[in-house]
Amino acid sequence: GPGQAPIILDRYANTSSAGSIIAFHLHHADLATGDVGVVCSFGAGYSAGCVVVRRV
């Protein structure tokens, strides 16, 4: 629910910047059609990336 963070470390360990995409894949079921969100990841060194997603 709102205010809760998905936890994947216990299942997948540290996946660096891929962790946010794995968590999104496992926990996206509560998004309704038309919902929009942003997934941001930060990895080793100075790597970073963001993607805007919309449920269709």
pLDDT band per the 50, 70, 90 thresholds, residue 2: low
In this predicted model, what pLDDT tens digit does every residue of 4-54 receive, in sequence order?
Answer: 888 899 999 999 999 999 999 999 999 999 999 999 999 888 899 999 999
Determine the pLDDT at residue 4: 81
Q: What is the DSSP string of the chain?
A: -TT-----HHHH---GGGHHHHHHHHS-TTPPTT-EEEEEEE-STT-EEEEEEE--
pTM of the predicted protein model? 0.77
Determine the pLDDT at residue 41: 92
